[in-house]
Amino acid sequence: MVKKEPKKKKNSPVRKGKGNAGGQKKLSLPTKARYSDREKESIDRLGKVIGKRNPVKLVQDSENSKKLHQDTTDPLLLRAQFLETTGTYHHQTACHLMNQAILAMPGDPDLDASNAAVDMMNGIQPKDPLEGMLATQMVAVHNMALECSKLAMVKGQHFEARDMSLKHAAKLMQVFTAQVEALNKYRTKGQQTINVQHVNVNQGGQAVVGNIQQGGGDGDGSKNAQ
């Protein structure tokens, strides 16, 4: 569970994170001299992705290992990480969404599983609280679909049990696909873009670029190009 940071009193000890300001570790990419050209491209891509992402990093509480909290005490950086991971900079809302995603992980989520759930949310890059809620649901549905798939692979079970697990997995994967489509539709405001790359016009023909509407006119079935 993500521990919500209480308001700090004056002169209270503050646990500082390791690395640079805000507890974020600065990644130093290894030398590329011993890598192939394809491997160098992958490493360059890694550097670009890491430079664009700044997810919330969870660490264990020093007094209670079952409690987790953010690996930074910088309030401005923490809000920026909340915004990038959950779509909101509000502390309580962000922690609530992250806790929901963590609790949707299989089994009893440990530190690694908790950070994995938060990183999956960050990978979706929610832009507002609505996208943050959808990202949380997508993490949950993904985990449920894979759990049902895992159950279907258990050896020695009856056909009916395997069939039920497969059906549940298929339905959940359809839900996940619908969630991805809903997210894309929400981000593009429902607009559809069609790119025409090649237009072939035979001799004597005419290419028309624009919206073509059927019907109307003089009733002779002519088409009106706009």
Q: What is the DSSP string of the chain?
A: -BPPPPPPPTT----PPSSSGGGPPPP-PPPSTTS-HHHHHHHHHHHHHHHH-----EEE-SS-TT-EEES---HHHHHHHHHHHHS---HHHHHHHHHHHHHTSSSS--HHHHHHHHHHHHHH---SHHHHHHHHHHHHHHHHHHHHHHHHT-TT--HHHHHHHHHHHHHHHHHHHHHHHHHHHHHTTT------------TT-----S-EE-S-TTSS---EE-
Q: Are 224 and 217 in contact (CB under 8 A)?
A: yes
Q: What percentage of residues in the chain have a pLDDT greater than 70?
A: 70
Tens digits of residue pLDDT in 95-111 = 999 999 999 999 888 99
What is the number of residues in the chain? 226
- pLDDT of 225 reads 43
pLDDT at position 19 over 60 = no
- pLDDT of 154 reads 95
- pLDDT of 150 reads 95
pLDDT at position 13 over 70 = no
- pLDDT of 3 reads 61
| Phi, psi angle pair for 213, to nearest 5° | -110, 140
Choose the weakest-confidence range: 13-27, 137-151, 187-201: 13-27
Q: Are 135 and 122 in contact (CB under 8 A)?
A: no
Tens digits of residue pLDDT in 130-187 = 999 999 999 999 999 999 999 999 999 999 999 999 999 999 999 999 999 999 999 9
Within 8 A by CB and 6+ apart from 109, the residues are 102, 103, 117
> Can you give the residue ranges of every domain in the chain?
15-52, 53-189
Q: How confident is the model at residue 10 (pLDDT cuts 50, 70, 90)?
A: very low
| Phi, psi angle pair for 70, to nearest 5° | -70, 145
| Phi, psi angle pair for 195, to nearest 5° | -100, 125
Q: What pTM was computed for the model?
A: 0.67
Tens digits of residue pLDDT in 36-59 = 888 888 988 888 887 777 778 888
pLDDT at position 15 over 50 = no
Q: What is the C-alpha to C-alpha distance for residues 21 and 58, in angstroms, rounded to an integer? A: 16
How many beta carbons lie within 10 A of that of residue 114, not counting itself?
22
Tens digits of residue pLDDT in 205-215 = 666 665 555 55
* For range 112-138, the mean pLDDT: 95
Q: How confident is the model at residue 23 (pLDDT cuts 50, 70, 90)?
A: very low
pLDDT at position 25 over 70 = no
- pLDDT of 162 reads 95
Give the residue from 154, 184, 193, 149 showing the smallest Cα distance to 169. Answer: 149
- pLDDT of 14 reads 36
Q: Are 51 and 25 in contact (CB under 8 A)?
A: no
